[in-house]
Amino acid sequence: MSLRQIHEQVQKSVERDREARAGHDAQAMPRSRWQRWVRYVWGRSGRR
């Protein structure tokens, strides 16, 4: 798997996420899960 293929996969998943998030935002979905995940990851990486 080349770097370009990985990049393309990432772009695809990002686009899909953006579309899904746009749909969720229309339903006013709470972002607590996202915030919890961010806090969890940041806590592990030592608050860069």
pLDDT tens by residue, the chain, 48 residues: 799 999 999 999 988 888 887 776 655 556 677 778 888 888 887 655
State the distance between the two ends of the chain, measured CA to CA, in whole angstroms.
30
Query: What pTM does this model have?
Result: 0.41
User: How many whole angstroms separate alpha carbon 41 and alpha carbon 12?
Assistant: 23
Q: What's residue 21's pLDDT?
A: 76
